[in-house]
Chain A
Amino acid sequence: MSQDARNEIRAFITAKFPRMTFTDEQDIFALGFVNSLFAMELVMFIEKAFGTRIPNEELNLDNFRTVARMADLVRRQQSAATAR
């Protein structure tokens, strides 16, 4: 599931920036091509693609810095939903 999530998140980002190269662990904000508008797009994408509503306590920049961290965030939300 985590790899699937990584692939989906990566596909979303590369659809927007097709010539950008980055690893799953690379900070996309530090690369300088992500602004607050794209951050909001990432939040909306993750919520729509994975059918989740990210709670406020998980909405911090660090959770969106890398593909890996976003996939971890998705996994946590899905685990929490399963537990409920």
Chain B
Amino acid sequence: MQVETWDLAEVGRFVDDEVAPHANEFDRAERMPEDVLGRVAELGLWAPFLPAESGGWGMDMVTLGRVHEEIGRGCSSLRSLLTVHTMVSASVHRWGSDGQRERWLRPLAEGKALGAFCLTEPDHSGSDSTAEGTKAVPDGDGWILDGRKKWITGGQLADLFMVFAGTGGGMSAFLVEADQPGVDVTPLRHVMGTPASMLATVEFTGVRLEASALLGPRGWAAGTVMTSALDLGRYSVACGSVGIIRAALDACAAYTSARTAGGAALRDLPQVRAMVSNMVTARDAAQLLCQRAGALKDAGDPATIMATWVAKYFASTAAVRAANDAVQIHGANGFSADYPVARLYRDSKVTEVIEGSTQIQELTIAAEAYREVAR
């Protein structure tokens, strides 16, 4: 089932009325209020791409991208929560057993269970996804899980962790419930960007898992669960970055229309016009790259993987430039919590680090160019 355009307009109204005006408060409090999370559930936005029988709307990926763009326009912390929840929900749907799908999909779709993605470890670079500090050791017909994961978006809220662990000869993914004995969540505070995404360090100490906790193939998460989840996360971050560019543009258009310098409106200054033009162009180009990546996902085309890398690379770096210019345009006011642009500046930087840093993206995208001459 396709979602109608009026639903997107409803998401826009939700962002305009209930998210964007309060995003600085969420940021300062380093918390996402429960009523906002509840409204996301009421609007059916937690996992709308799931089929109707699992509680979703069967939303296509292009439309999902537009939803994440809208949410990102209002608050990147909330979009970050949607990103990781999307990664977990889609992974259960794609790689889960019948039992796992039966147990988790409807609560995930309805927001009654929130998911978090646990890959990065405190003692390894987050870009080193093959690091296996966390281990799952066979124990009878199940597993014992030990290790620590850091920078876990939504870790303070999550009911279900998707945890990557070495299983000897490769990495595997596991579904771990937050209330299981041996799971310890420590909030991460005073984080520069997206602090209301409620990040945490999550420690697993002798956590006993049933055999049914294994998600996807044993020992080959790198080629399956992890890659597909990161691909979707990258797509969500790219779309959220478009939202940041739009928010920066909206803020600058309003500010420079109301503000004067030397008797002239700021908007009439050529340097301001150049920066605003760059934001408009970046918004449109990033949006088109995201739409291309989403359409390839809808078609099941493997080309979506590289298209998503390209979309995320362009959109995230463009978001940082747009937010940087937005602060510049606002002058001293750009540093104030009275305006959104300081938050946009801090949040935009996160998009250059998560789901593949800009530097990893440059290595990956350039490697694609060299494929054709590889011997």
Contact = CB atoms under 8 A, between A and B. Distances in A.
Contacts of A45: 302
Interface in B117-137: none
A64 B224 CA distance: 12
B84 to A, nearest CB: 19
Contact of B216 (A21, A42, A59): A59
Given A17-B374, A37-B364, A40-B227, A59 B220 contact: yes
B374 A19 contact: yes
A60 B220 contact: yes
B219 A48 contact: no
A57 interface: yes
A40 B223 contact: yes
Interface string B200-231: 00000000000000001101101110111001
Contact of B375 (A19, A48, A61): A19
Contacts of A43: 223-224
A40 B371 contact: no
A11 interface: no
B373 interface: yes
B94 to A, nearest CB: 9
Contact of B217 (A18, A19, A60): A60
Interface in A25-77: 33, 36-37, 39-45, 47-48, 56-57, 59-61, 64
Interface of B: 95, 97, 170, 216-217, 219-220, 222-224, 226-228, 231, 300-306, 364, 371-375
Interface residues of A, number: 24
A33 B304 CA distance: 19
A59 B375 contact: no
B223 A64 contact: yes
Contacts of A20: 374-375
A28 to B, nearest CB: 12
Given A17-B371, A17-B372, A48-B301, 15 more contacts: A19-B372, A33-B374, A39-B222, A40-B305, A43-B223, A44-B300, A48-B300, A56-B95, A56-B216, A59-B224, A60-B217, A60-B219, A61-B219, A61-B220, A64-B223
Contacts of A36: 222-223, 226-227
B301 A44 contact: yes
A44 B302 contact: yes
A58 B303 CA distance: 23
A39 B217 contact: no
B224 A47 contact: no
A84 interface: no
Contacts of B224: 39-40, 43, 59
A64 B222 CA distance: 13
A21 B216 CA distance: 32
5 contacts: A21-B375, A40-B228, A44-B301, A44-B304, A59-B220
